Amino acid sequence: MTRLLAILLALSAPLAAQAAELRVPGDFCRIQQALDAAAPGDTVRVAAGIYAGPGNRALDTRGKALTLLGAGPGATVLDCEGASRGFLLRGEAGTRCLVRGFTVLRGAAERGAGALCEGASPRFESCQFLDCEADYGGGLAVTWEATPRLRACVFKGNRARLGGGDVYVVGGELLLRDCRAGDVLALAGARLRRIDSPQ
């Protein structure tokens, strides 16, 4: 009997470990609440709408490998209202993060007003970074050996007082594929690779 119970527990373990999907709104009112509740490997799905105020900006995965899905650029909008950045991704676990289908609007920060990647290498797909302002990297800042990958992302109307209006890379590497970014500043041994599909 004990052996049979052990076998049943072993077989049920993968089911218990399956990733969950958390929804905003629905399960949670604010996006950060869902990120905090999520376990590594989970998906946070954010419906179309404009999200503003605390808990809907400076979104931090807190070192967990998560998938964050919006309803599409222009549909799911993070309006930072000039108060903070859109996303903050830090640490090695951030390497396994995917962010898809968001617009970050009116972000503000010293570095990376749209998103800041510190030592993390997330993937951004089909995202827009619009009208964000920073000292360095109005749209995106890449630091601490981070190596993010961006695909089909748009940077427009971003400003930087000291450099990299759209993208600022220092001590890391950035891969842009089929992205529209104008003002890119890469410093201090940074590596920038830009890959565009044939028109």
Mean pLDDT by 10 residues, the chain (199 residues): 48 60 97 98 98 97 94 97 96 78 98 93 96 92 88 92 86 85 55 45
Q: Which residue has the tokens 């049943």?
A: 8
Is the CB of residue 149 less than 8 Å from the CB of residue 117?
Answer: no
Output the pTM of the full model. Answer: 0.84
What is the Cα–Cα distance from 56 to 33, expressed in whole angstroms? 9
Per residue in 123-166, pLDDT (tens digit) is 999 999 999 999 988 999 988 888 899 999 999 999 888 888 88
pLDDT for 124:
96
Q: Which residue has the tokens 């000292």?
A: 135
What is the Cα–Cα distance from 162 to 83, expressed in whole angstroms? 19
Q: Which domains does the chain have, with CATH numbers?
A: 20-195 (2.160.20.10)
